[in-house]
Amino acid sequence: MKILLGISGGIAAYKTPELVRLLKKAGHQVRVACTRNALELVSRIALETVSGEPVLFETFTPRTHPGVEHIDLAGWPDAVVIAPATANVIAKLACGLADDFLTTVLLATPAPVWIAPGMNTRMWEHPATLENVQRLIGRGVGVIGPDSGELACGTSGPGRMSEPSVIVGILEEHFARPRPLAGRRVLITAGATREHLDPVRFISNPSTGRMGVALARAARELGAEVTLVHGHLEVPVPDGVVAVPAGSAIELHRAVFEWKDRADLLIMTAAVGDYMSASPAAEKMKKEALGATLTLQLVRTPDILAELAQSGNDPSGAGTAPRAPRPKLVGFAAETAGGDESRLLELARQKLSRKGCDALFANDVSIAGAGFAAETNQGVLLFADGHVVWVPQGTKDQVAASLLESVVASLLL
């Protein structure tokens, strides 16, 4: 595996030659990019000796080959590890800043990224640092540590960078996991559509997109190339996922049919509006002109799930050439079953039959911990062959992992 080690200017940088040595001993190719401050704390010669590669830190250097160095390096690794990751570099990564060679590479790389924080306890516990770390976790960045212990400043507490052997062990464990979606392409929809009545008003729903984003992150971790077609989201799109914004049901329909033939698996979690205005106003409707009541004429939006189930490469059905088999299709249904599992299962069966997809996950949004904007979810996954999997309550990341495990085993293997 090709690993790019990014080193920032924390005192734990002195441990990085040992980290490089252990990574190479484990059979990985290692290259090093660092900040200027890092080279005040660790020898460039030592890093180049143990890695066998030049240490890169200058944004502007004489060109020895065509191409753009930070872009070329960003596309090289299978994984990026930032160790130590200072509060400053974490903040830059969270905000998308690119003001030196290392952060420019980080902004350009499609590879999965891990950070191993290393800093003073008060810096680690500062709300800004913790918020930045949570933002990165939401994008799919892995966090290793920090540990608690004696720090270089003479105090003791959390903030100490994990030992090189621990970092290597966590990376090895991660990449040893099965990646059943390697080489597969997954298209996921997420978020709420907005059907405008005029430029400032719209009909929508409370979906945050959290479940769809969790599925995108889980599919990426299983090795898939992931495209996320999304409406309104209240959570960030994970790193390494192609994001395709689509604000309305019509836009979502257009984007899904544009992208679906490139996918092996379609997972439709988006909360798509069923109705839209028959004639949205071009300008803001003034309430003084509307009067005490407002009557709206609404028309049905396209039934994306049903159309996908019936489609091959020609969604209109007008072509004469034979259709290619469509991708496997998983639908989602937010139901109100009042906590009655048998009722939820019956609603799921009805919708699965009506839509014609290969599987459908239904959750009961009328119970605590399974509704819109909740951190958790639960429900039932029903397959077209009648197979039923009940998914217990867990975080949406846990539910996403469970759903993908069942879907992959039943539909793709």
Q: In whole angstroms, what is the distance from residue 142 CA to residue 112 CA?
A: 8
Element (H, E) at 228: strand 225-230
DSSP, collapsed to helix, strand or coil, labels residue 175 as helix
Burial class (CB in 10 A: 0-12, 13-18, 19+), 121: middle
> What residues are annotated to the active site?
153
DSSP string, 186-206: EEEEESB--EEEETTEEE---
Q: Which pair of tokens denotes residue 390? A: 């009940």
Q: In whole angstroms, what is the distance from residue 244 CA to residue 228 CA?
A: 6
Q: What is the DSSP letter of 411?
A: I
Q: In whole angstroms, what is the distance from residue 253 CA to residue 250 CA?
A: 5
Residues in the chain: 413
* Pairing between β-strand 201-203 and β-strand 195-198 as defined by DSSP bridges: antiparallel
Residue 361: count other Cβ atoms within 10 Å of its Cβ: 27
